[in-house]
Amino acid sequence: MSSINTISNNRIKEIVKLHQKKYRDELGLFIVEGFKAVTELINNNIDIKEIYALKAFETEKYTVKIIDETIMKKISTTSSTCEILAVAKKKEYNINSLKNKKKLILLDSISDPGNLGTIIRSASAFDVDGILLYKDCVDMYSSKVIRSAAGNFFRIPIITIKDAEELTSNFKDFKKIATALYETNTISIEECKNLKKYIIMFGSEANGLSNELIKIADKNIILKMNNNVESLNLSVSASIIMYELFTK
């Protein structure tokens, strides 16, 4: 164990920069907060650069630096003081590693970090093989996403897809299943289960699935619900569909 006693420490200033996506991208690093999430980092062999804590934390592999609460408040992203924080290297997944999988989901330009974290958590629970983030999604390394994923962030491959051409060229043998609010060219949950390889595509909170993805969709899944309810929260509807598809 070692201690850092001054808030002007240059390394502390560098960590504070990681609150911003610009510096996370530039440095290839991100922040993880809380005992559960840091333990998941260690258990999943993520490259950890540093661990800071208010009190002793047992780990054979890493040196934990003990800091006081004032410094922890400075480097933490939360309003309440966390007890442990790690700085880790982003894990880059190869798109080719997902081509041999069967069950993928795609998230189209979603903007809410809580939704993304919850979907990651559900995807891990229901054995989804991977997640594709399409176009301008919220930064998956946002601390809010990681907290919402509740320790499941590191258990599932997540890659970004820049456009429809990259999607279709890399996943030619996958059926693309839309989740748009129209009742044409539909496929049932049971029929979808019989497909060899498929990608379930979910739209953004504000605009739903984009027209370019609707155009390349092979089929469409609709969740039946009470006519008095127009739609469900994105993470709720995605979790229901993943549950129906991947567990029954």
Q: What is the CATH number of the domain that holds 85?
A: 3.30.1330.30
SS3 content of the chain, % helix, strand, coil (to 5): 35, 20, 45
Q: Are residues 67 and 153 in the same domain?
A: no
Q: Are residues 193 and 179 in the same domain?
A: yes
The dihedrals phi and psi of 14, each to the nearest 5 degrees, come to: -65, -40
Q: Are residues 61 and 110 in the same domain?
A: no
Number of domains in the chain: 2
**Residue 116 maps to which CATH number?**
3.40.1280.10
Domain boundary among 50, 71, 89: 89
pLDDT on residue 226: 75
Q: Are residues 24 and 111 in the same domain?
A: no
pLDDT on residue 248: 63
pLDDT tens per residue across all 248 residues of the chain: 555 555 557 888 999 999 999 999 999 999 999 988 999 899 888 999 999 999 888 888 888 989 989 899 999 998 888 899 999 999 989 999 899 999 999 999 999 999 999 999 999 999 999 999 999 999 999 999 998 998 888 889 999 999 999 999 999 999 999 998 777 789 998 999 899 999 999 999 888 899 999 999 999 998 877 777 667 789 999 999 999 988 76
Which structural domain range is residue 24 located in?
Answer: 2-89
Count of beta carbons in the 10 Å neighbourhood of residue 185: 12
Q: Are residues 49 and 127 in the same domain?
A: no
